[in-house]
Amino acid sequence: MHHRTLGADLTVSAIGLGCMTMTGGYSGRPDRADMVELLHQAVDLGVTFFDTAEIYGPHANEELVGQALAPHADHITIATKFAQDIDPQTRTPQGRMLGPDQIAGAVEGSLRRLGLGTIDLYYQHRVNPDVPIEEMAGAVKDLVEAGKVRRYGLSEASADTIRRAHAVQPVTAVQSEYNLWWRRPDTDVLPTCAELGIGFVPFSPLGKGFLTGTVDTTTTFAEGDLRAQIPRFAREALQHNLALVDRVKQIAAAKDVTPGQIALAWLMAQHPWIVPIPGTTKAHRLKENLAAADVSLTETELTVLDELSTTIEVHGGRYPDFLEAQTNL
What pLDDT, on the 0 to 100 scale, is given for residue 45? Answer: 98
DSSP H stretches of helix in the chain: 32-44, 60-69, 103-114, 133-145, 159-168, 189-196, 235-255, 259-270, 283-291, 299-311, 321-324
Full pLDDT tens readout for the chain, 329 residues: 899 999 999 999 999 999 999 998 776 789 999 999 999 999 999 999 999 999 999 999 999 999 999 999 999 999 999 998 888 888 888 889 999 999 999 999 999 999 999 999 999 999 999 999 999 999 999 999 999 999 999 999 999 999 999 999 999 999 999 999 999 999 999 999 999 999 999 999 999 999 999 898 898 888 778 888 889 999 899 999 999 999 999 999 999 999 999 999 999 999 999 999 999 999 999 999 999 999 999 999 999 999 999 998 889 888 777 666 656 54
Nearest Cα residue to 277 out of 50, 83, 73, 22: 50
Active site residue 56: yes
DSSP letter, residue 194:
H
- In b/e form, how buried is each residue of 290-314, taking b as 16+ CB within 10 angstroms? bbbbebebeeebeebbeebbeebeb
List of residues 6+ apart from 215 with CB closer than 8 A? 209, 233, 238, 245
Where do the domains of the chain lie, and which CATH numbers do they carry?
A: 3-324 (3.20.20.100)
Selecting among 26, 56, 123, 178, the annotated active-site residue is 56
What pLDDT, on the 0 to 100 scale, is given for residue 328? Answer: 54
For residue 222, the SS3 value is coil
What pLDDT, on the 0 to 100 scale, is given for residue 229? Answer: 87
| Measured distance CA(220)–CA(233) in Å, rounded | 10
| Measured distance CA(329)–CA(325) in Å, rounded | 9
What pLDDT, on the 0 to 100 scale, is given for residue 150? Answer: 98
What pLDDT, on the 0 to 100 scale, is given for residue 324? Answer: 65
What pLDDT, on the 0 to 100 scale, is given for residue 40? Answer: 98
User: Which amino acid, one-letter code, is at 253?
Assistant: A
DSSP H stretches of helix in 26-182: 32-44, 60-69, 103-114, 133-145, 159-168
Q: Is the pTM of this model over 0.85?
A: yes
Nearest Cα residue to 213 out of 118, 147, 288: 288
User: Which amino acid, one-letter code, is at 139?
Assistant: A
Nearest Cα residue to 306 out of 244, 249, 240, 243: 244
